Structure 1
Amino acid sequence: MERVPHRLPPLAALRLFEAAGRHASFAGAAGELGVTPSAVSHAVRTLEDRLGLPLFRRDARTLALTPAGEELLAEATRAFEGLTRVMDRLDGARHQAGLRVSAAPTFAARWLVPRLPRLRRDHPGLTVAISSEQGWVELGDGRYDFAIRMAREPSGAGEWQHLSDIRLVPVAAPRFAGQALAAVLARLPTLHVTSTQEDWDAWAAARGAPPPDRARGLRFDTVHMAVDAAAQGLGVALARLPVCAEDLAAGRVVALDEPVQAGVAYWLVARPGALRQAEGRTFVAWLRRELAGEPVPA
């Protein structure tokens, strides 16, 4: 059955009338809502003209509701109170959950989580819930406010902001420090990441070298697992900067070559409206400051 459209009065005028009815004063309503008494009077007159009924009895000193005004005031107050309760509940739930951020696993584990103590110190009132997922997430379904993803360029819905270009560098266990890359590769297999198989090809193209043999070496589904395996001497991993910068700074692994551009970048993707909220702006500003800073000390 087709629904009949709601026959509503002008809602701005109804809001001014409701305040005037509660205060029994145009001036009181004007003070509450930050408008002039004449604006309240005009809004009430608009409703009266629409209904063809007086809503107030006016004389030089008093303002009293008519029976029609009392009936409309009761319904309007219930409606506005109900809307206020719903808005407060939804807003409270949003603030309780905090900002919801989906980040690629290596970015979350190696870069974002080590910096959360600084986020709490700098912004103690800001709560962030982090989820790590390999695949794309839909920002319009209400689950996330932001996603941090790797891409060559913006694509899809949401508001995209460039965070950092990605650079690639071969790394191995600390005992191989100072040794030539070719010498280490002669002794160790390369380690591969199934979700980023293009990284070794991109590195090889930038260096003008043939890509390594994918048939040799262990395979992992995240970059940070491959870097951990390299730290154990199991092979040569291709680390991503800036997210693996702390592994190098702390000496967990050593670089065997200069970093090269991967041709992709980390992007911040925001759901519509997230960047207009104070919490969203605060988080993004902090994120950019951290990316521009130094690695977290060991």
Structure 2
Amino acid sequence: MKRGRLPLTALRSFEVAGRLRSFTLAAEELFISQAAVSRQVRELESLLQHQLFERHHRSVSLTPAGEQLLAVLTRAFDEIGGSLDELRGDSRPSTIVVSSEPSFASAWLVRHLADFRKERPDIDVVLDADPRLVEFRSNQATIAIRHSTDRKTWARVENQHLVDVRIIPVLAPVLLEQAGDLDQPVDLLRLPLLHEESRDLWQRWFSQSGTDAPVQRGTVYTDGGLVLQAALQGEGVGLLDELFAENDLKTGRLCQPFALSIPHGAYWLVARRFSELPEGAIAFIRWLKARLDTR
């Protein structure tokens, strides 16, 4: 095909959708609608007379033709981007400032940042663990990660849903051994309970389990990361975000005595304008969403 006739817009949309295996995430990275991504991909398939994606109920996968084209396009776009950076004098590592809820930063993000550094060694991350909502003034932060139990919008900023939160009970194996049989949720009241900010969350969990006994005792921590550390030390039973506990549950450092979980809001990405973010921030958001999506 002659260079003058190359469908560059459609090729870009296909490359992002193929790399992320998602039309939705591609739309977010390109700051266009999912319908636009789908239309451009279909136009490219019509032009090539080859199906590039297998479309499933809630996901997509690449066909052999799609895999072949993606390998070429990703390499080509990376080389173009690298050449442009060199011409602009951007060979030094770029820096992004990520403002994060302290519990998300300490209990999850710190554990996984090494994966991002391996993927993008050219991007330095400054992680600011701060519960306050930043105003994005004077380069205060590039993007922010915030938790809310009910809010979905904030004034003067844009936001994107990141991940829902569900809370589960966890305790260290040594405490479980000391406790003996835990046959029903009410048995947890025999053990020290660890609380985040207040005792309301445990009260909600017990109410969902059918236990109406009041929760009046137990250490209260200001941060979920502190609850996690206390639970790992065997100090008591903590109510933790599944996201925070998943690694320690897999390795056996924590146990989940009962399967009951309760919803507790969601984490959100916040920025002044997503369409104006630097490439490093866009790459970080893409990595973060993909990492959470493949848990």
TM-score range, shorter chain: 0.5 to 0.7
The equivalent residue for 1:122 is: 119
Tell me the alpha carbon deviations over residues 45-101 of structure 1, each in whole angstroms, 9 at most, x when there is no partner.
xxxxxxxxxxxxxxxxxxxxxxxxxxxxxxxxxxxxxxxxxxxxxx999x7671100
Distance of aligned partners of 1:179 and 1:124 in 2 relative to their CA distance in 1, 3 Å threshold? same
Distance of aligned partners of 1:211 and 1:231 in 2 relative to their CA distance in 1, 3 Å threshold? farther
Correspondences of 1:1-298 after superposition (within 5 Å): 98-151=95-148, 152=150, 153-175=152-174, 176=176, 179-182=182-185, 184-194=187-197, 197-210=199-212, 212-214=214-216, 216-273=217-274, 276-294=277-295
Q: Is the 8 A contact 2:185 2:211 kept in 1?
A: no
The equivalent residue for 1:85 is: none
1:223: Cα distance to partner?
Answer: 1.2
1:143: Cα distance to partner?
Answer: 0.5
Aligned length in residues:
201
Q: Is the 8 A contact 1:171 1:236 kept in 2?
A: yes
Match of 1:227, SS state, is helix
For residues 103 and 250 of structure 1, what CA distance do their matches in structure 2 show?
26
Tell me the alpha carbon deviations over residues 258-298 of structure 1, each in whole angstroms, 9 at most, x when there is no partner.
2423240011111225654321211111001110123xxxx
Q: What stretches of structure 2 of length at least 5 have no aligned partner?
A: 1-87
For residues 110 and 191 of structure 2, what CA distance do their matches in structure 1 show?
31
For residues 141 and 250 of structure 2, what CA distance do their matches in structure 1 show?
32
1:250: Cα distance to partner?
Answer: 2.1
1:184: Cα distance to partner?
Answer: 4.7
Distance of aligned partners of 1:211 and 1:224 in 2 relative to their CA distance in 1, 3 Å threshold? farther
1:150: Cα distance to partner?
Answer: 0.6
Distance of aligned partners of 1:228 and 1:184 in 2 relative to their CA distance in 1, 3 Å threshold? farther
Match of 1:262, SS state, is strand
Q: What stretches of structure 1 of length at least 5 have no aligned partner?
A: 1-90
Distance of aligned partners of 1:92 and 1:166 in 2 relative to their CA distance in 1, 3 Å threshold? farther
Tell me the alpha carbon deviations over residues 15-71 of structure 1, each in whole angstroms, 9 at most, x when there is no partner.
xxxxxxxxxxxxxxxxxxxxxxxxxxxxxxxxxxxxxxxxxxxxxxxxxxxxxxxxx
Q: Is the 8 A contact 2:186 2:206 kept in 1?
A: no
For residues 150 and 127 of structure 1, what CA distance do their matches in structure 2 show?
24
Distance of aligned partners of 1:275 and 1:253 in 2 relative to their CA distance in 1, 3 Å threshold? farther
Q: Is the 8 A contact 2:172 2:254 kept in 1?
A: yes
For residues 287 and 125 of structure 2, what CA distance do their matches in structure 1 show?
12
1:106: Cα distance to partner?
Answer: 1.6
Distance of aligned partners of 1:167 and 1:211 in 2 relative to their CA distance in 1, 3 Å threshold? farther
For residues 203 and 131 of structure 1, what CA distance do their matches in structure 2 show?
31
Q: Which amino acid aligns with 1:179?
A: L
Match of 1:199, SS state, is helix
Higher Cα Rg, which structure: 1
Distance of aligned partners of 1:98 and 1:202 in 2 relative to their CA distance in 1, 3 Å threshold? farther
For residues 146 and 211 of structure 1, what CA distance do their matches in structure 2 show?
42
Tell me the alpha carbon deviations over residues 201-252 of structure 1, each in whole angstroms, 9 at most, x when there is no partner.
44234334337523x1112111121122222222111011213321222222
For residues 255 and 247 of structure 1, what CA distance do their matches in structure 2 show?
10
For residues 270 and 211 of structure 1, what CA distance do their matches in structure 2 show?
43
What TM-score does the superposition give when structure 1 sets the normalisation length? 0.60
1:113: Cα distance to partner?
Answer: 0.8
What TM-score does the superposition give when structure 2 sets the normalisation length? 0.61
CA RMSD of aligned residues (A): 2.7
Q: Is the 8 A contact 1:140 1:271 kept in 2?
A: no
For residues 211 and 189 of structure 2, what CA distance do their matches in structure 1 show?
15
Distance of aligned partners of 1:105 and 1:259 in 2 relative to their CA distance in 1, 3 Å threshold? farther
